């Protein structure tokens, strides 16, 4: 599976509402380490196809500023791992393939627990909006 591009406009759909775990590469056009990471990131996207969705968001696009700020990205490349719309881990900077695979495998193990033992935030919010009495204590 190829790496998908995302923007602030598609963030909700592709990250928050995703049924599968997601890794987002926060990248920049003039970032040498980002350019060096791209072929490896694409290769890993193929290797982990069906287990993890690989996405890329360009931090130097002003339209993405709100997402970049909310995600607390302070440097590129930054990989952030999401499960059911929640950040569960990150990797900052370039790394060689064995190190990234180790990180991804570790994150997938953690995400298995997230997938089976938690409720997505958007479902909780939706329930609260449709039945305000259910959230009363």
Reply yes or no on whether 34 is catalytic.
yes
Interatomic CA distance for residues 62 and 135, integer angstroms: 37
Q: Which alpha helices (DSSP H) does the chain contain, by range?
A: 11, 32-47, 65-70, 97-117, 121-130
Which residue, among 26, 47, 28, 57, has the nearest Cα to 104 in the 3D structure? 47
Catalytic residue among 6, 31, 79, 111: 31
Whether residue 3 contacts residue 55, with contact meaning beta carbons closer than 8 Å, is answered with yes
Catalytic residue among 34, 52, 68, 83: 34
Interatomic CA distance for residues 61 and 3, integer angstroms: 18
Catalytic site residues?
31, 34
């Amino acid at each position: 599976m190829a790496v998908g591009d995302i923007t602030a406009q598609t963030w909700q759909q592709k990250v928050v509402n995703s049924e599968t775990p997601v890794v987002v590469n926060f990248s920049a056009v003039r970032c040498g380490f980002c350019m060096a990471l791209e072929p490896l990131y694409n290769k890993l996207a193929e290797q982990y196809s069906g287990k993890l969705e690989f996405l890329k968001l360009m931090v130097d696009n002003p339209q993405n500023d709100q997402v970049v700020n909310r995600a607390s990205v302070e440097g590129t490349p930054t990989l952030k791992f999401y499960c059911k719309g929640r950040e569960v881990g990150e990797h900052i900077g370039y790394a060689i393939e064995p190190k990234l695979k180790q990180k991804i495998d570790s994150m997938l193990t953690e995400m298995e627990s997230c997938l089976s033992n938690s409720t997505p935030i958007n479902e909780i919010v939706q329930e609260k909006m449709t039945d305000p009495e259910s959230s009363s204590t």
